[in-house]
């Protein structure tokens, strides 16, 4: 079995993330990691809060807290929310950790020794109102390429174009809003990406054809436009310090590394945090001179693609160290809210903490993954949400579980009935289930989540079709043993659903599995041959009727939530 390193883009520290952030990286990474573990692979699933940079300082300033305290509190809050969504991180770290600081500084030294970092005098924006140099994200204005009027000084989040602060039109300070800006000389470090262009091109050519079109096209677009040398330091009080043993003048001036330089390195840093947390864990076998059995998959939204597929690989290549580099990049488009952007300031859209107050995590996990923005942007709407939840979860899966176990308990007691041996209908169902399961596995192996959700939904529907065809409520009148066979088969389907549905709806999967008293229940996955047999749960196994798995979303709720969160 392969060893799988899985990372999702780091959620930024300044505020609770919305549903689009969740479905654009962390949730699909969790579905994939869970699936791989069930298939018997060794998995290391790493994530962390991204804590450095301008927005962290601004958010701390607004909260009236020292930035370190603000980040510590915000990290704990985010971690609690992700536990609520049952994201199965092996470690959820912090980019402000000592491990990340040490790793970032060492990689910077290596780049310098190899001639890929250069100190330059640059002209930088200075705010006379704020009496300080303004790092790129402290400057906002209009993007010269797409006209977006809230572009930041490092990147336009609307068109994803990387910018310099001096590119912005109508620039103003993000601290004070003042447009009284001037340009002064200051010293910064630059990563000489131009010297690494050929190596990045060769690296990308070796793997990008295996990536989804979204990821490969964005990476190739960046390369086609030419790699520019990039400043990797900023004038901030919070960040990984420039090491004084290599750049004493810059260290004395308080320079720190650019957040987009240290944040991807935190994947390594967080793995070191994980290793340091317990004896016997080896982070190097995953990242440093990792053997060819390690397969590295990254999950991210499309705005993160350039940094992960060009800048971070250039950083690792330039270090001349044997760092593990990504094998597969799964990128996502945007999830919008009724076609527009989620907005914290305008209180528009659904954020991860509010969503959990409304409904349990499985409702959100299923809806988001069944409608994941893979090939195009996807729009969230309460009507669509209610339709999907009610049809798929309540009517198809939940109703099947409830009526099988309730009817079985009512007519045959609290043990799985025996009845006749399997007949043609059961054999036909077994073949159908095996075929559907094969398609489900293939879709997950290919990281095609919407297709996987369709296959899983088809598996659930197959059970309902079988139950309706066999009609045990009619069979019990003329041939009770036939009804017992139907119910035994259906109960085995419930156990099958518990196993294979876990990546998408882990809480419901636990309830379904827990309905049967199978000591130890060793089944991790169900291969096609075993699935076709439908005999994992033998006759005589004690079972219980669980509470209703999923309740329907009502029209009154959709109206209430639309009014509360905006829409239409």
Please enumerate, by residue number, every residue annotated as part of a binding site for Zn(2+): 143, 146, 156, 159
Q: Provide the 8-state DSSP code for 130.
A: T
Residues with Cβ within 8 Å of residue 230, at least 6 apart in sequence: 190, 191, 193, 311
Q: Per the annotation, where are the binding residues for ATP?
A: 344
Residues with Cβ within 8 Å of residue 245, at least 6 apart in sequence: none
Contacts 24+ apart (CB under 8 A), 428-433: 429/462, 429/466, 429/489, 429/534, 430/531, 430/532, 430/533, 430/534, 431/532, 432/462, 433/459, 433/462, 433/493, 433/496, 433/531, 433/532, 433/534
459 contacts 433 by C-beta, under 8 angstroms: yes
539 contacts 485 by C-beta, under 8 angstroms: no
Distance CA 440, CA 503 (A): 12
Q: Per the annotation, where are the binding residues?
A: 143, 146, 156, 159, 344
Distance CA 451, CA 443 (A): 6
* H-state helical runs in 344-423: 352-358, 361-370, 382-388, 399-412
Distance CA 364, CA 384 (A): 12
Written as six digits, the tokens of 28 are 């699909």
Cα three-residue angle 246-249-254, rounded to 5 degrees: 100
Burial (Cβ within 10 Å: 0-12, 13-18, ≥19) of residue 483 = buried
Q: Provide the 8-state DSSP code for 136.
A: G
Residues 41, 92, 239, 179, Cα dihedral to 10°: 110
Q: How far apart are the first and last CA of the chain?
A: 49
Give the position of tokens 């572009």: 151
Distances (CA, A) of 445 to 439, 448, 557: 10, 8, 37
228 contacts 193 by C-beta, under 8 angstroms: yes
Distance CA 541, CA 125 (A): 73
């Amino acid at each position: 079995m392969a060893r799988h390193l899985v990372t999702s883009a780091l959620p930024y520290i300044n505020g609770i993330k919305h549903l689009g952030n969740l479905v654009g990286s962390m949730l699909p990474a969790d579905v994939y990691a869970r699936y791989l573990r069930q298939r018997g692979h060794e998995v290391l699933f790493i994530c962390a809060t991204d804590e450095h940079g301008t927005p962290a300082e601004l958010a701390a300033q607004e909260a009236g807290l020292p930035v370190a305290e603000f980040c510590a509190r915000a990290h704990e809050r985010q971690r609690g929310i992700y536990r609520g969504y049952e994201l199965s991180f092996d470690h959820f770290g912090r980019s402000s950790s000592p491990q990340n600081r040490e790793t970032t500084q060492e990689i910077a030294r290596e780049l310098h020794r190899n001639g890929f970092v250069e100190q330059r005098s640059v002209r930088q924006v200075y705010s006379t109102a704020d009496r300080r140099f303004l790092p790129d994200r402290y400057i906002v204005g209009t993007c010269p390429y797409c006209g977006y009027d809230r572009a930041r000084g490092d990147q336009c989040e609307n068109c994803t174009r990387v910018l310099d602060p001096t590119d912005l039109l109508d620039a103003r300070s993000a601290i004070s809003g003042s447009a009284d800006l001037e340009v002064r000389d200051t010293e910064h470090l630059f990563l000489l990406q131009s010297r690494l262009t050929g190596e990045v091109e060769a690296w990308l050519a070796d793997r990008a054809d295996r990536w989804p079109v979204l990821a490969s096209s964005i990476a190739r677009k960046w390369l086609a436009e030419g790699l520019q040398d990039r400043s990797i330091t900023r004038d901030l009080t919070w960040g990984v310090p420039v090491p004084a043993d290599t750049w004493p003048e810059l260290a004395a001036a308080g320079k720190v590394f650019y957040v987009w330089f240290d944040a991807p390195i935190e994947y390594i840093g967080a793995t070191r945090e994980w290793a340091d947390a317990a004896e016997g864990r080896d982070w190097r076998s995953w990242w440093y001179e990792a053997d060819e059995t390690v397969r590295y998959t990254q999950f991210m939204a499309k705005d993160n693609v350039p940094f992960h597929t060009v800048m971070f690989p250039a950083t690792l290549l330039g270090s001349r160290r044997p760092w593990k580099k990504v094998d597969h990049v799964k990128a996502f488009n945007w999830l919008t809210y009724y076609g527009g952007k989620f907005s914290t300031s305008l209180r528009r859209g659904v954020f991860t903490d509010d969503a959990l107050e409304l409904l349990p995590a499985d409702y959100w996990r299923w809806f988001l993954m069944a409608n994941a923005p893979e090939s195009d942007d996807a729009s969230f709407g309460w009507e669509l949400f209610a339709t999907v939840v009610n049809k798929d979860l309540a009517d198809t899966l939940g109703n099947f579980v409830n009526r099988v176990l309730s009817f079985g308990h009512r007519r045959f007691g609290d043990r799985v009935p025996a009845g006749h041996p399997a007949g043609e209908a059961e054999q036909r169902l077994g073949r159908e289930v095996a075929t559907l399961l094969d398609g489900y596995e293939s879709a997950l192996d290919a990281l095609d989540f919407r297709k996987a959700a369709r296959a899983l939904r088809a598996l659930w529907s197959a059970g309902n079709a079988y139950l309706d065809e066999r009609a045990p409520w009619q069979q019990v009148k003329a041939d009770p043993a036939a009804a017992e066979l139907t119910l035994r088969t259906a109960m085995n389907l419930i156990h099958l659903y518990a196993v294979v549905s876990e990546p998408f709806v882990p809480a419901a999967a636990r309830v379904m599995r827990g309905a049967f008293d199978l000591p130890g229940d060793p089944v991790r996955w169900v291969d096609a041959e075993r699935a076709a047999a439908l005999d994992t749960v033998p006759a005589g196994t004690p079972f219980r009727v669980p509470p209703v798995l999923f309740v329907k979303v009502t029209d009154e709720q959709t109206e209430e939530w639309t009014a509360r969160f905006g829409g239409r």
